[in-house]
Homo-oligomer: A and B are copies of this chain.
Amino acid sequence: MADQNSDRETGSKLDPKYDSNGLITAVVTDDSSRDVLMVAHMNAEALKLTLDTGIVHFFSRSRQQLWKKGETSGNILEMTGVRIDCDQDALWITARPAGPACHTGATSCFYRKIQDGALEQAE
């Protein structure tokens, strides 16, 4: 186990640690503003499609199906780079968004800040 963990942390082999639902967390930041746009999940198929096409795909936990981000709205995310963390259970994707990343129409899903225990519009 120790060696397996060590390989995962230091090696050059892509070996994502999917959770019990077969998913890995993916953070997407804007390549230009560097804001965090959204946090979602990928299964192996979504990750493969993202890497193969350069267009970000997720797995929708609510709909339980592959989700090409922006397929309906047109607001796709064009991947510019992807990193994986030390224990390979999270991805950091940099992307060029074609439009608002959030389904609410906001540029980022993180449009509210926590201030004094309540939520306020973020700048």
Contacts and interface: CB of A to CB of B under 8 A. Distances in A.
Contact of A90 (B14, B34, B39, B85): B39
- Size bin of chain A's contact surface: 35 or more
Given A14-B118, A27-B27, A51-B114, A39 B85 contact: yes
A85 to B, nearest CB: 4
Interface string A42-84: 0000000001000000000000000000000000000001111
B118 A13 contact: yes
A92 interface: yes
A29 B25 contact: no
A2 interface: no
A81 B113 contact: yes
